[in-house]
């Protein structure tokens, strides 16, 4: 969100807005199934179920984190763009 606000209307802004949109629009249960299929079934890097080790926490944390990060990126970007347009920022730059 910060990089997106600082480099407004450049490629990093467009990329972060696209990823934030996908992260916010994709349902968590669908994202979880996609991540299980990719990392557990196809790549066999992480366990798909169970409990006990740190590896068992990666997929649920990643699923919930991606879903919430889209909302936070948009919130941080809009707040920073609004703050960067304030008079005290322009005075500090001058």
- pLDDT, tens digit only, all 94 positions of the chain: 899 999 998 999 999 999 899 888 989 899 999 999 999 999 999 998 888 889 999 999 999 998 889 889 999 999 999 998 888 988 888 8
Same domain, 37 and 52: no
Report the predicted TM-score, pTM, of the whole model to 2 decimal places. 0.73
Same domain, 51 and 70: yes
Range of the structural domain that residue 61 is part of: 47-93
- The predicted structure's pLDDT at residue 50: 83
Same domain (yes/no): 80, 69? yes
Structure tokens at 20: 């934030």
User: Tokens for 8?
Assistant: 């407004």
CA distances (Å), 54 to each of 3, 57, 66, 72, 94, in order?
Answer: 31, 5, 19, 26, 50
- Structural domain count, the chain: 2
Residue 48 has what pLDDT? 86
Same domain, 2 and 37: yes
Whether 27 and 54 map to the same domain: the answer is no
38 and 54 part of one domain: no
Length of the chain as a residue count: 94
Q: Both 36 and 54 in a single domain? A: no
For residue 81, give both structure tokens.
């763009």
Neighbours of 23 (CB within 10 A): 19
Please state, as a whole number, how many other Cβ atoms lie within 10 Å of the Cβ of residue 60.
12
> Looking at residue 67, what is its pLDDT?
83
């Amino acid at each position: 969100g910060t990089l997106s606000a600082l480099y407004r209307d450049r490629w990093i802004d467009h990329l972060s807005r696209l990823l934030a949109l996908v992260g916010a629009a994709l349902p968590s249960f669908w994202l979880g199934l996609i991540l299980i299929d990719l990392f557990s079934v196809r790549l066999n890097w992480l366990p798909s179920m169970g409990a006990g080790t740190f590896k068992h926490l990666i997929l649920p944390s990643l699923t919930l984190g991606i879903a919430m990060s889209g909302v936070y990126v948009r919130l941080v970007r809009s707040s920073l763009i609004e703050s960067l347009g304030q008079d005290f920022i322009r005075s500090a730059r001058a």
